[in-house]
């Protein structure tokens, strides 16, 4: 029995070390030289972060009640009677395990007593069979591998999957509802980590609390009641004192030793950062003959890490020995008292066996209590980080009384529109203009003048802060976003494709479109024959962000996608500014087909692409400085004329990118080298 106990203790220590080394999820504030930001991260996330890292802890148990309130809705699957029945069944099986844990020691006692009394074989055989059946249901005396436990774990999988699905879908939908401003400022890695950790943390919390902590505490209470009732109050008092001291000491030492683990992880992070930094600057090290210096610096970092590691392991050993001492003293006191009662004929020999069996059975799950405590502490932080995302306010919301856009002609009116991304820096000021149905209006001007902002405001990525935008006389703030965007098609400057084949990327314009409609859109965008020239045709994979296609090919796919959507208003946000002149000329022909008889708003970099526009608006410092047709603006001799003259005098690169697909690995490597 002692050997089994020792093995479990060793296994528990190994799991705790592995858990801590994998991730000490704490609420931390990171200060990096030259930058400052706060986030919920694990220390391992800072591996590639240069500069000094200072870690400031925060208790994971702060706001415990609020966190539990956030967790409770996921424990009860609403709208699914079947899953609710499974939850009730799992709780019932959990209760059955508690009953079995009581009867296993009782039948162990009965066997010893019957053997001592030389009972009949039939009676003894029945007792032994019942005992073995209970052990089969219980499993190893711990309840972790028995029939009931395995059945409960299997049934709970359905509830766990439901919870995981609901959390992920809700969070994913919420992220899509957040504003463009939030997405432009997000750190994608942090968001993905919050989603992954948050989802698993909800499941882990439910599992640890419902199936580990609560049953352990219930077993303790049941044991105290049983010993007080069937033995004496002294036995109940011994069990109570031992359990209280065990749990209290475990929590106190676990909280205390967290600082050593935190310090060790910080030093580990610093050591790895020094190694990575040194290897990345390999040539610089060679230039200054600093190999010895780098090796010594790395060795110093390792020594500091090992000093912290020693403290961590010493504190873990202290925790284990303290737990063993409490268990040993409790077992000694109870065993001596029980043995005394046996000698004075108050108890039978079987009662002594019952006491020892029950206590060891009770102590075994307690060995994991410290580990579960740390896991729950970690899961609370991960869950909180995820719920911080869920409580992120939506900047652009539908009005309470918002209705669908009643599209008639496609007239667009900007009336005294004011907007700024940050307070004190106005991007648009009192901007007013009208785009008549079927007209093409071009927006030109220097960088930062507000051209792309107008496109984003019309698409309602942001809400105006002054004035209003009307479509067919309806304020877009008072219509539903989905309805508004269903009538608008956008061809951006930088087309980003999904890592899928060409057919599915074009079909994204209208998910329900047939293959024939997809190919018709490709024909209209003048890319159909080019696609057929690929070995896999429309099944050609475009690679990450479409890097296997050239710039011109990606733009044509974007145009085909927009054609398939069949929008009534088209927005072209510098759709060809990143292309060479020849490719741009080819793309313009495709764009002309798309924009024919559609209300079109064009943001242009090259003025030669918008000379046929019905109206050209010249923006300067957030205001419309000039407006008119191409010839009229040239005749005015103002800003537009100066821009036109400058572009005519500047030779443009004739390097073609339209017919030469980029190799994704080379492109990524080039981007990496630039960074």
- Compute the average pLDDT of residues 455-473: 89
pLDDT at 64: 63
Q: So what's the pLDDT on residue 407?
A: 87
How high is the pLDDT of residue 373?
75
Residue, of 552 and 517, whose pLDDT is higher: 517
Find the mean pLDDT for residues 168-183: 79
| Residue 13, pLDDT above cutoff 90 | no
- pLDDT value at position 187? 67
Q: Which residues pair with 433 in a beta bridge?
A: 414
pLDDT tens for each residue of 262-302: 788 778 878 888 888 888 888 888 888 888 898 999 999 89
With a cut of 60, say whether residue 378 has pLDDT above it: yes
Segment 29-54, tens digit of pLDDT: 333 333 333 333 333 343 333 333 33
Q: Is the pLDDT of residue 610 over 80?
A: yes
What pLDDT was estimated at residue 63? 60
Confidence bin at 401 (pLDDT 50/70/90): confident
What is the average per-residue pLDDT within 571-595? 67
For the ranges 32-46, 187-201, 457-471, 561-575, which has the lowest average pLDDT?
32-46
- Average pLDDT (437-442) is 88
The upper half-sphere exposure of residue 504, i.e. CA atoms within 13 Å in the direction of its Cβ, equals: 11
Residue 129 confidence (pLDDT):
93
Token pair belonging to 577: 């500014």
Q: With 70 as the cut, is the pLDDT of residue 185 above it?
A: no
Mean pLDDT of the 597-609 span: 83
96 contacts: CB under 8 Å, gap ≥ 6: 137, 148
* Beta strand 412-419 pairing with 466-471: antiparallel
Q: How far apart are CA 6 and CA 304, in angstroms?
A: 32
Task: pLDDT band for 369, please (50, 70, 90 cuts).
Answer: confident
The token pair that represents 310 in the structure block? 């020693």
Q: What band does 62 get if pLDDT is binned at 50, 70 and 90?
A: low
Q: Which of 47-61, 106-120, 373-387, 561-575 has the lowest mean pLDDT?
A: 47-61
pLDDT bracket for residue 490 (50, 70, 90): confident
**Distance between CA atoms of residues 562 and 568, nearest Å:** 11
Query: Residue 195's closest CA among 24, 69, 383?
Result: 383
* Collapsed DSSP state (helix, strand, coil) of residue 654: coil
523-532 pLDDT, tens digit each: 887 788 888 8
Q: Residue 660: what pLDDT?
A: 38
pLDDT of residue 144: 53
Q: Identify the residue with better confidence: 434 or 59.
A: 434
- pLDDT band of residue 190 (cuts 50, 70, 90) is low
463, 397 in Cβ contact below 8 A? no
Average pLDDT (323-341) is: 89
Task: Give the pLDDT score at 296.
Answer: 92
pLDDT at 579 over 60: no
Q: What's the whole-number average pLDDT of the chain? A: 78
47 against 457, higher pLDDT: 457
Give the single-character DSSP code of 403. Answer: B
Q: Residue 340 pLDDT more than 60?
A: yes
Q: Of all helices (H) and strands (E), which one includes residue 430?
A: strand 428-435
Q: What is the pLDDT of residue 67?
A: 65
Report the range out of 356-365, 426-435, 644-653 with the highest average pLDDT: 426-435
Q: Is 426 left (phi over 0), alpha (psi -120 to 50) or beta?
A: beta
Using the predicted structure, report yes or no on whether residue 211 has a pLDDT greater than 90. Answer: no
Q: What is the mean pLDDT of residues 108-120?
A: 87
pLDDT of 652 higher than 60: no
Mean pLDDT, range 96-111, rounded to an integer:
89
Of residues 9 and 505, more confidence is placed in 505
CB atoms within 10 A of CB 330: 21
pLDDT band at 96 (very low <50, low <70, confident <90, very high): very high
């Amino acid at each position: 029995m002692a050997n089994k106990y020792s093995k479990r203790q060793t296994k528990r220590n190994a799991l705790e070390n592995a858990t801590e080394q994998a991730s000490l999820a704490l609420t931390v504030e990171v200060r990096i030289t030259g930058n400052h930001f706060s986030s919920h991260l694990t220390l391992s996330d800072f591996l590639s972060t240069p500069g000094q890292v200072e870690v400031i802890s925060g208790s994971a148990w702060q706001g415990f009640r609020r966190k539990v309130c956030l967790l409770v809705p996921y424990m009860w699957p609403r709208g699914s009677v079947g899953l609710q029945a499974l939850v009730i069944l799992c709780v019932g099986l959990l209760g059955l395990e508690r009953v079995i844990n009581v009867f296993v020691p009782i039948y162990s006692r009965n066997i010893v007593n019957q053997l001592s009394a030389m009972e009949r074989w039939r009676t003894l055989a029945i007792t032994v069979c019942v005992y073995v059946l209970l052990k089969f249901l219980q499993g190893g005396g711990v309840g972790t591998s028995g029939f009931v436990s395995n059945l409960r774990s299997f049934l709970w999988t359905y509830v766990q999957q439901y919870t995981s699905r609901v959390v992920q879908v809700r969070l994913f939908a919420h992220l899509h509802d957040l504003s463009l401003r939030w997405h432009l400022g997000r750190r994608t890695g942090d968001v993905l980590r919050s989603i992954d950790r948050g989802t698993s943390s909800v499941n882990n919390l439910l599992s640890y609390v419902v199936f580990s902590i609560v049953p352990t505490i219930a077993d303790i209470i049941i044991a105290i009641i049983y010993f007080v009732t069937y033995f004496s109050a002294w036995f109940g008092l011994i069990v109570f004192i031992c359990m209280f001291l065990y749990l209290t000491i475990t929590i106190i030492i676990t909280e205390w030793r967290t600082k050593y683990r935190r310090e060790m992880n910080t030093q580990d992070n610093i050591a790895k950062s020094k190694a990575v930094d040194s290897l990345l600057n390999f040539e610089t090290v060679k230039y200054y003959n600093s190999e010895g210096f780098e090796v010594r610096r790395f060795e110093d970092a390792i020594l500091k890490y090992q000093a912290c590691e020693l403290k961590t392991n010493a504190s873990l050993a202290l925790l284990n020995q303290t737990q063993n001492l409490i268990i040993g003293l409790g077992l000694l006191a109870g065993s001596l008292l029980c043995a005394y009662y046996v000698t004075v004929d108050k108890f039978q020999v079987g009662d002594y066996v019952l006491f020892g069996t029950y206590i060891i059975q009770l102590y075994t799950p307690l060995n994991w209590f410290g580990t579960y405590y740390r896991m729950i502490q970690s899961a609370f932080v991960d869950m909180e980080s995820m719920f911080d995302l869920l409580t992120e306010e939506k900047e652009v919301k539908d009005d309470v009384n918002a209705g669908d856009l009643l599209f008639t002609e496609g007239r667009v009116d900007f009336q005294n529109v004011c907007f700024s991304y940050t307070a004190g820096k106005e991007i648009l000021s009192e901007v007013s203009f009208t785009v008549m149905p079927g007209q093409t209006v071009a927006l030109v001007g220097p960088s930062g003048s507000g051209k792309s902002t107008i496109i984003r405001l019309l698409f309602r990525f942001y809400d105006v802060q002054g004035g209003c935008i009307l479509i067919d006389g309806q304020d877009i703030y008072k219509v539903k976003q989905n309805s508004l965007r269903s009538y608008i098609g956008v061809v951006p400057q930088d087309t980003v494709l999904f890592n899928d084949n060409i057919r599915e990327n074009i079909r994204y314009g209208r998910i329900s479109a047939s293959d024939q409609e997809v190919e018709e859109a490709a024909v209209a965008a003048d890319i159909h024959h080019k696609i057929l020239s690929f070995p896999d045709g429309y099944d050609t994979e475009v690679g990450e962000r479409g890097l296997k296609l050239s710039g011109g090919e990606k733009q044509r796919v974007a145009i085909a996608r927009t054609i398939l959507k069949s929008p009534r208003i088209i927005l072209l946000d510098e759709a060809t500014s990143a292309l060479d002149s020849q490719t741009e000329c080819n793309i313009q022909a495709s764009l002309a087909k798309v924009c024919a008889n559609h209300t079109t708003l064009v943001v242009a970099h090259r003025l030669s692409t918008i000379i046929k526009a019905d109206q050209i608006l010249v923006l300067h410092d957030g205001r419309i400085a000039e407006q008119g047709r191409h010839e009229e603006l040239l005749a005015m001799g103002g800003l537009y004329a100066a821009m036109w003259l400058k572009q005519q005098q500047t030779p443009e690169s004739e390097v073609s990118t339209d017919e030469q697909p980029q190799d994704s690995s080379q492109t990524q490597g080039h981007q990496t080298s630039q960074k």
